[in-house]
Amino acid sequence: MSQIDAATEHFIQTKVTAIADWGNYLTGSDKVAAEQLTKGISAPDRTAKEREEEMAEIKNVAAQKHLPNFELINARDTDGNGVPDQFDGIKVNGRVLFERPHQQQGGKHTEKELVKMITPFMANDSQAGSEKLAKAVSDAVRDNELNEPQLRSLLYRLEDSRAAHHYPSKISLIDVNGDPMSVDGDTLAITRPKTSDFFKIHR
């Protein structure tokens, strides 16, 4: 059962209704509503469970408003329970109303740049290759000050890139420290066709 409070439910209803008003493209208020909804619901100060329920409610209201091909951009699971709890924007009928940039806070590179830099390391099916891949990801964590949700988002995009290139090495995060916002002491698992390698994240 949903635990969404009345104020948040009203916020979602109001913003999705604004998006659903097809006259809004004249004033851009649909884009404003999409930006406010994305930034409000996907804020890092909310728990993953809260965001899961709020994202489900957004989709429910969008269905009630008969919004065609409504999509939460880059909806993803950051806490490992299989339910999306984070997203980067809103698209309706193929039209992007808002998508936030993927610049990591305090970082040197955007998420897109990191994916481009790290993907080639996923091509090597060897112990040495795994070590280089783990180092590349650890370096990205350190240099870009990534927290756990940001790292999970990066790994999600890396997996898409790996699959597109048909590279053998998959990489995932094992939460060791129990802190949903920190990767200090956590482990990277690199799975190759016949074996797996494990590396502690270093900063």
Q: Which residue carries 């610049």 as its tokens?
A: 103
Residue at 80: amino acid letter:
G
Flag whether pLDDT at 190 surpasses 50.
yes
Question: What are the residues facing 10 on neighbouring strands?
Answer: none
Confidence class for position 4, pLDDT limits 50, 70, 90: confident
> Looking at 35-49, 100-114, 122-136, 176-190, which range is the least confident one?
100-114
Distance, CA of 71 to CA of 178 (rounded, Å): 31
Ramachandran area for residue 145 (φ above 0: left; ψ -120 to 50: alpha; else beta): left
Cβ of 38: how many Cβ atoms within 10 Å?
22
Q: In the chain, what percentage of residues exceed pLDDT 70?
A: 91
Residue recorded with tokens 């993803």: 76
Query: How confident is the model over 46-85, as pLDDT tens digits?
Result: 788 888 999 999 999 999 999 888 999 888 887 778 888 8
How confident is the model at residue 95, as a pLDDT? Answer: 85
Instruction: Say what the pTM is.
Output: 0.52
Q: Are 109 and 101 in contact (CB under 8 A)?
A: no
Query: What is the pLDDT confidence band of residue 25, given thresholds at 50, 70 and 90?
Result: low
Q: Is the pLDDT of residue 106 over 60?
A: no
The number of beta carbons lying within 10 Å of the beta carbon of residue 157 is 19
